[in-house]
Amino acid sequence: MKLNATGKRTYLWSLLLVPLFTGARADEPPQIAIQAGEQRPMNTIPRWQPKCDDPSIAWISADGKAILNAVKPGTTLCSLANDGGSRFVWQIVVTQPK
Per-residue pLDDT 10s for the chain (98 aa) are 555 665 555 555 566 555 555 555 567 899 999 999 999 998 666 678 899 999 999 999 988 788 999 999 999 999 988 888 888 899 999 999 98
CA angle 19/56/1 to nearest 5° reads 55
Cα–Cα distance between 53 and 11 in angstroms, integer? 24
Q: What is the pTM of this model?
A: 0.71
Cα–Cα distance between 79 and 7 in angstroms, integer? 21
Topology given in CATH for the domain delimited by 5-95: Immunoglobulin-like (2.60.40)
* pLDDT recorded at residue 76: 97
* pLDDT recorded at residue 96: 97
* pLDDT recorded at residue 53: 97
* pLDDT recorded at residue 37: 97
Q: Provide the residue ranges of all domains of the chain, joining segments of one domain with +.
A: 5-95
- Report the length, in residues, of the chain: 98
* Residue type (1 letter), 86: S
* pLDDT recorded at residue 15: 60
